Amino acid sequence: MASLDDLKKRIASVKSTQKITKAMKMVAAAKLRRAQESAEKGRPYSEKMNNVILNLSNGISDKDNAPKLLSGTGKDNVHLCVVMTSDRGLCGGFNSNIIKKAKNYFNKLEKNGKDLKIITVGSKGNDQLKRMYGNKIIANISFKESKNANYFDAEKVGKMVIEKFNSEEFDFCTIFYNQFKNVITQIPQAQQIIPLKTERSKENESEDSYEFEPDEDEILSNLLPKNISTQIFKAMLENSASEQGSRMSAMDNATRNAGEMVDKLTIEYNRSRQAAITKELIEIISGAESL
């Protein structure tokens, strides 16, 4: 059995760990509120963008000459996957969930004999993927310096993706991120952004006739690259809210576990203290009796 002194030290150390996790939880909670707010504020933009593109692609006259970002390259060989993770750890299953989802997808692709290219956003994803897929990772982007997700960062990623698309380095592009549902639930998502899937929100918008200035094709070819950045930005916002939510619940658990541990150790400490006292008493009594 550990000595009283050792127990005391352990209790102190667990208590100070608990203090840290508690502080982290509170910081995450504060950040979560902000991240959630900006995710909500960012929603109208991407929704509107989607609607406009939907209207445009419905109105497009010549399907064969539609921009490649919409219709695809016509080939299906190289898949680009943008895996978006966090830059910091201690956030529960947040990163592993994305990675797991992405790895499943990678396996499927490889089984079908497709070529795979990976861009990782956030250093944690890079750390986890480089062991197995190191040779497939073509770029790693990390935004450690920027505090909140901002559009310029998203644009950087978007521009890079488009550049690579224009130089025909890939045919399909999918982004992986965690969708924020609530504090305890985040759903890892795989969203295909090139070619764009337009059918999913068809029901909420009746077809309207618009006047276009300049014509549809030109607007569309201007709009689609922007939409890529917008989608990536949306993913970044969702991701940052999810990260904080995930961290908050992870730290909440850690704090609770530390509390339980302190209780257990305290009981053990008291017991052994009592045992020592009893032992001493027995010694004194039996010493007195033998006299």
Partner 1 sequence: MSDEFKIEIVNPEKSFLIKEDVLEVIVPAFEGEMGILKDHISIISFLKPGIITVLSKSGNEKFFVEDGIVEFKNNHLSILTSSIFNLSDMDNSKRQDLLKQAENEASKTEINDQSKYLIDQKIEVLRSLN
Q: Catalytic amino acids?
A: 91
* Single-letter code of the amino acid located at 138: I
- Touching partner 1, residues 153-182 (CB under 8 A): 154-155
CB of 154: closest distance to partner 1 in angstroms?
7
Rounded to whole angstroms, how far apart are CA atoms 92 and 188? 14
233 touches partner 1 by CB under 8 A: yes
Per the listing, tokens 């989607």 go with 50
Rounded to whole angstroms, how far apart are CA atoms 124 and 178? 14
209 touches partner 1 by CB under 8 A: yes
157-197-183 Cα angle (round to 5): 65
Strands in 115-121's sheet, in edge-to-edge order, are: 137-141, 115-121, 78-84, 172-180, 186-194
From 203, 213, 288, 290, residue interacting with partner 1 (rule: CB under 8 A): 213
Site string for partner 1, 33-52 (x = CB under 8 A): -----x--xx-xxx-xx-xx
CB 152 within 8 A of CB 232: no
Which of 84, 102, 99, 38 has its CA nearest to residue 241?
38
From 103, 139, 151, 179, residue interacting with partner 1 (rule: CB under 8 A): 151
Contact region with partner 1 (CB under 8 A), list: 146-154, 178-186, 187-195, 269-277: 146-154
61 touches partner 1 by CB under 8 A: no
Which CB sits closer to partner 1, 237 or 250?
237
Q: Are strands 78-84 and 115-121 parallel, antiparallel or unpaired?
A: parallel
From 140, 150, 179, 272, residue interacting with partner 1 (rule: CB under 8 A): 150
Compute the radius of gyration of the chain from its Cα atoms.
28
Residues that bind partner 1 (CB under 8 A): 38, 41-42, 44-46, 48-49, 51-52, 55-56, 150-151, 154-155, 208-214, 219, 222-223, 226, 229-230, 233
